[in-house]
Amino acid sequence: MLQEPKYSGRAVLVIDTHVLPVTATLAFSADGCSGVLRTQVVSDADLDFPPEPVPLTLLQEPKGEVWGTVSVCRRTPEGAVSMKFRGVGG
């Protein structure tokens, strides 16, 4: 059985002037990639996600940049946020 390439590690999400360090867990397929990003949120402005794709820079191997859309799926009482990331082809 063929295993999908995966990425689990540190990444940086850039939205306009906001740079948000995240922990990314992504699965890659022929259609692109999708997964979950987790972070500690400094302010609500960090959660203002545009509808258009934004760059996610992968800081560990395989390093690179993927573009995708982000949406918040869960916020914990401790201030951590889980976000859904859906990559777009490019």
Mean pLDDT over 67-78 rounds to: 86
Q: What is the distance between the alpha carbons of residues 45 and 67, in angstroms, rounded to a whole number? A: 20
Beta-bridge mates of residue 11: 22, 58
Beta-bridge mates of residue 75: 81
pLDDT digits (tens, 9 = 90+) for 19-31: 889 999 999 988 7
Answer for the pair 8, 27: CB distance below 8 angstroms, yes or no. no
pLDDT digits (tens, 9 = 90+) for 75-88: 888 878 899 999 98
Query: Does the bond joining 77 to the residue before it have cis omega, within 30 degrees of 0?
Result: no
Q: Return the structure tokens found at 48.
A: 């203002």
